[in-house]
Structure 1
């Protein structure tokens, strides 16, 4: 074998030397799986159910998709409760939670609009971009700034992705149950509320707001079941 070919093969082999590719300094290594807490595994459960919701929207099963989406919502609330109860809240966990929020709230929202409400692909293009862009920026800002505080009360800076998601869901039920409502009005409504996610509005984080969000979710679940089984 010519020396040139031998050196070429050795060079290719060295490129695939896994030992050489491994980060050597222990201080520079981060074992992500070892850093996951029980709350983070609950968050990953929310990701799994959120992805199931996305698949159901794509298959034309919006009511079942909504039920799955609210399952992700329940798990998303459970991970925060578990983290506080066990004292395992951390900046890393908040990053994981924000990552999951994209698939638990933002992606189902744009898929619901695209597959069920959008009058054409251009409306879906614009509305989907607004939801994902403003929602993503809102999550980035929250990870950077954290919660604001007014004395004993803490608040989100701007409306949350949950608020936007509920607006999209409300538009779905309006379109199904109110004859005069349509995809154009839904798109306009959703587009108007998207910039509020990066506004200076104070969305207070209180027990009352959690209860109201829970009531809204239960009402939406009831409507989705009623529509699916022909009661409405």
Structure 2
């Protein structure tokens, strides 16, 4: 082996030495697991159930997928309640919550449209892109701006990903029970709802709004079970 070849091999070895690639100064890195709180672990539970929902949509089980998605919704609400109750809310936790909202609400919504409602791949491409794009931008803006305040009442800037998800779910049931309602009409309605997520609309965060969202989830879960077992 020539000296030039040995030098070349030594140079490659030095460049890929793992010890030199590790950040050792704790001020330059974030230990993710030490940042996680109980609320964040509940959020990760929502991610797990949301992923189960996605797999069920892919397997052609929309009603069971909806039930799993509503389970993710319950866990998503539980993490916020736990964070407020224990005083563990943090900017890091808000980032975790927004990341998981993508898989708890946006991904199941586009999969529901794609596998059940979409009349063509083109329609699914457009609707899925708009839901994910506007939903992602809405979550980024929320992380940057936080909640607005109006006479002591907190509000979201624009509609939330939960609202958009409910629009898709509502279209699923309307298409099931109302003759003449189809994937094209559903797609147009969903596309029209997407820009509202980055609008200046004030979606107030109140106990009533949470109760209504919970009631809608319960009703939708009941309809999904009734469809699954042939009662409707």
| TM-score, normalisation: structure 1 | 0.98
The whole-number CA distance in structure 2 between the counterparts of 1:186 and 1:218 is 22
> Which residue matches 1:193?
193
Structure 2 residue ranges without an equivalent (≥5)? none
What's the secondary structure of 2:217's corresponding residue?
A: helix
Take 1:126 and 1:136, find their aligned partners in 2: how far apart are those partners? 15
Displacement, 1:98?
0.2
Give the secondary-structure state (helix, strand or coil) at the position aligned to 1:34: helix
State the secondary structure of the residue aligned to 1:54.
helix
Aligned length: 232
What is the alpha-carbon distance in structure 2 between the residues aligned to residue 34 and residue 160 of structure 1? 29
Is 1:99 aligned with 2:99?
yes
State how far apart, in whole Å, the 2-side matches of 1:11 and 1:42 are: 47
Secondary structure of the residue aligned to 2:156 is strand
Structure 1 CA distance for aligned equivalents of residues 75 and 3 of structure 2: 61
Q: Tell me the distance in 2 between the aligned counterparts of 1:105 and 1:11.
A: 49
> 3-state SS of the aligned residue for 1:124?
helix
The residue aligned with 1:129 is: 129
Q: What's the CA shift for 1:18? A: 1.4
C-alpha distance in structure 1 between counterparts of 2:15 and 2:60, whole Å: 46
Task: Quote how far apart the aligned CAs of 1:15 are.
Answer: 2.4
Give the Cα separation in 2 of the matches to 1:157 and 1:90: 19
Within 2, Cα distance between the matches of 1:10 and 1:42?
48
Query: Normalised by the size of structure 2, how large is the TM-score?
Result: 0.98
2:113 partner SS: helix
The whole-number CA distance in structure 2 between the counterparts of 1:141 and 1:132 is 14
Name the counterpart of 2:8. 8
Equivalent position SS for 1:231 = coil
Equivalent residue, structure 2, for 1:111? 111
What do you get for the CA RMSD once the two structures are aligned?
Answer: 0.8
Q: Secondary structure at the match of 1:126?
A: helix
Stretches of 4+ aligned residues off by more than 4 angstroms: none
1:61 corresponds to which residue?
61
State the alpha-carbon separation in 2 of the partners of residues 161 and 88 from structure 1.
23
CA deviation vs aligned residue, 1:123-155 (integer Å, no higher than 9, x gap): 001101110111011001000000000112100
